Homo-oligomer: A and B are copies of this chain.
Amino acid sequence: MKSELKIKSDIEIAQSTEMKRIKDIAQNLGLYEDEWEPFGHYKAKISLNTMKRLNDNPSGKVILVTAINPTPAGEGKSTVTVGLAQALNRIGKKAIVAMREPSLGPSMGIKGGAAGGGYSQVMPMEDINLHFTGDLHAITSAHNALSALIDNHIHQGNEVGFDTRRITWKRVVDLNDRALRQVIVGLGGPTQGVPREDGFDITVASEIMAILCLASDLTDLKRRISSIVIGYNSVKEPITVSDIGVQGAITLLLKDALNPNLVQTLENTPALIHGGPFANIAHGCNSVAATKMAQKLSDYVVTEAGFGADLGAEKFFDIKTRAGDIDPAATVIVATIRALKMHGGVPKDQLKDENVSALEKGLANLEHHVASIQKYGVPFVVAINRFVTDSDLEVNKLLNWCEENNIPVALTDVWAKGGKGGIDLAKTLLDEIKTKENTFKPIYELDMPIEEKIQTIATEIYGADDVEFSPKALKQLKEFDLNGWSHLPVCMAKTQYSLSDDPALLGRPSGFTITIREFRPSIGAGFIVALTGNVMTMPGLPKKPAALNMDVSEDGTAIGLF
């Protein structure tokens, strides 16, 4: 039976499952008909205006799903997120999934969905992975409208005095397109604009995406957009969107995108899939608007953050909870046997072979993340996301180690079994929430200097010995002081594969230093990005992109999507 299940692909499972009409999902949540709008029969947008009515409802408990440092294939964090919410509903709790929405770019490149997997998926997966409700397109439009308005402002006389060598606002497409990383625009003579260097990022790397995910309402969205720094003048003073007076138009383009999207999981658990900022140059969490709305519509909100706990959980706790005034109730740390073996030194192509000693060695990575999460004072459970290749010996080793170290743990099999495979995890988690004290507090104070914030993250969360700042970074910090930006939280851009800033240092590296190469101010989003290395904000396509296998049947059924 199990092996037969495993043979089906994610899209086959999704296409063979009957969905409920979104009308029924919305009704079950207690939403009135005029509070949401359908997008087809299986997707909806819920108006943020609904929050006024819901304001007096009690707030559901927020459960963050995070992970150890992942393998390049990922450890199934989304699948566990969906499976856990399904499991909570199976044991009589009211739970909602709050997840990020995927970008179109990567789906054209490397096979791999962003909507969970197996029997723990959100649906309709084809729509979610293609245009969905148009949020990413609205962000692309808003971002590029701002770009066009900047270049037009310069072309028409440059009243605010942009230094055209110091325009920091680039352009975006929601695609993997390496040829657009570095371009020259405005060529062709005086009627074609002013020539200058420019570049394109992928849409999910847009500051507007980060802003949409942190804004509490349209007024806050406009306030944040007004304060985006788009460039500098000749004396290096920042120029913002409000200086060229187009914050109203840009906000108008985003008015519908700000409303959270409602869909369902394979087991008809409601899911709010909304916003998907990068987890390096942004904070990697779904929107504050969706998380808070989910809290008002259910008792438990299961949500996730990008990459491992060193990046995702840190940003969730230190950036998102602050922007949204969210109190996290518990954390799930997803671990897999194969990733732990990788941290224990096993090469990628041998992860399927039993190797208990490598597993034991790799446990140091898990141990470190457990210690980090404990520093935030939030109850937690380690979830072992089981794969068919895991041996019983390996699984038992991991379970025993957790027990010996007093670490709450549960085995999950949500890919193959859906919510049923997450019931142990759900029960263990509820028990932890009930019995353990919650003393949540961010790891740093906002009034610390930026250097000190980074020092705290690096030593407390990464386990680094020290932080080095490049001369450029130090110079920038002085400018930030003058601009009044030092009170902002820090958004770390670091490799997800290692606790350090060197992707090759697996396990639990020690004796390392984190180097801050430079900063990028995201003043609209409300954080300062600290770059520890080269950050790719525009991916490329592989030699044989997934697009080569995609098609659509005569009647409109998607083929080869995943």
Q: Mark A186-219, 1 if CB is under 8 A from B, else 0.
A: 1110011110000000000000000000000111
Closest to A193 in B: B179
A545-B149 contact given A137-B134, A555-B49, CB 8 Å threshold: yes
**Complex interface: chain B residues within 8 A of A141 (CB):** 104, 131, 137, 174-175
Which of A173, A552, A554 has the most CB atoms of chain B within a 10 A radius of its CB?
Answer: A552
Q: Mark A146-160, 1 if CB is under 8 A from B, else 0.
A: 011101100111000
CB of B47 within 8 A of CB of A556, answer: yes
CB of B39 within 8 A of CB of A148, answer: no
Closest to A194 in B: B179
Shortest C-beta distance, A336 to chain B (Å), equals 31
A537 near B: Cβ within 8 Å?
no
Within 8 A of B (CB), among A525-562: 540-541, 543, 545, 547-556, 558-561
**Complex interface: chain B residues within 8 A of A111 (CB):** none
**Complex interface: chain B residues within 8 A of A181 (CB):** 187-188, 192-193
A149-B547 contact given A134-B131, A252-B558, A552-B218, CB 8 Å threshold: yes
CB of B47 within 8 A of CB of A543, answer: no
**Complex interface: chain B residues within 8 A of A192 (CB):** 178-179, 181-182
A551-B249 contact given A179-B151, A545-B152, CB 8 Å threshold: yes
| Count of identical protomers in the assembly | 2
A251 near B: Cβ within 8 Å?
yes
Closest to A137 in B: B137
**Complex interface: chain B residues within 8 A of A31 (CB):** none
**Complex interface: chain B residues within 8 A of A131 (CB):** 134, 137-138, 141, 253, 256
Within 8 A of B (CB), among A12-68: 37-41, 45, 47-49
CB of B179 within 8 A of CB of A148, answer: yes
What interface size band does chain A fall in?
Answer: 35 or more
Which of A144, A188, A547 has the most CB atoms of chain B within a 10 A radius of its CB?
Answer: A547
A559-B248 contact given A39-B38, A541-B149, CB 8 Å threshold: yes
A354 near B: Cβ within 8 Å?
no
CB of B179 within 8 A of CB of A145, answer: no
A218-B554 contact given A144-B177, A177-B147, CB 8 Å threshold: yes
Closest to A188 in B: B182
Shortest C-beta distance, A70 to chain B (Å), equals 24
* Cα of A38 to Cα of B43 in the assembled complex, Å: 10
Q: Mark A349-378, 1 if CB is under 8 A from B, else 0.
A: 000000000000000000000000000000
* Cα of A315 to Cα of B544 in the assembled complex, Å: 40
Shortest C-beta distance, A27 to chain B (Å), equals 16
* Cα of A56 to Cα of B417 in the assembled complex, Å: 48
A184 near B: Cβ within 8 Å?
yes
**Complex interface: chain B residues within 8 A of A38 (CB):** 37-41
**Complex interface: chain B residues within 8 A of A253 (CB):** 130-131
A522 near B: Cβ within 8 Å?
no
A152-B540 contact given A104-B141, A248-B552, CB 8 Å threshold: yes
**Complex interface: chain B residues within 8 A of A184 (CB):** 183-184, 187
A94 near B: Cβ within 8 Å?
no
A448 near B: Cβ within 8 Å?
no
**Complex interface: chain B residues within 8 A of A176 (CB):** 148
A255 near B: Cβ within 8 Å?
yes
Q: Mark A415-439, 1 if CB is under 8 A from B, else 0.
A: 0000000000000000000000000
Shortest C-beta distance, A42 to chain B (Å), equals 9
Closest to A173 in B: B144
CB of A255 within 8 A of CB of B558, answer: yes
A185 near B: Cβ within 8 Å?
yes
A108 near B: Cβ within 8 Å?
yes
* Cα of A147 to Cα of B180 in the assembled complex, Å: 10
Closest to A222 in B: B552
Which of A217, A249, A541 has the most CB atoms of chain B within a 10 A radius of its CB?
Answer: A249
* CB-based closest 5 A-B pairs: A248-B551, A179-B193, A137-B137, A249-B547, A182-B188
A-B contact pairs, 8 of them (CB 8 A): A39-B40, A49-B556, A134-B137, A141-B174, A148-B177, A157-B543, A178-B186, A252-B550
Beyond A130-B252, A218-B553, 11 additional contacts (C-beta under 8 Å) are A37-B40, A47-B556, A49-B556, A108-B249, A144-B173, A157-B543, A179-B194, A182-B186, A191-B540, A248-B559, A249-B547
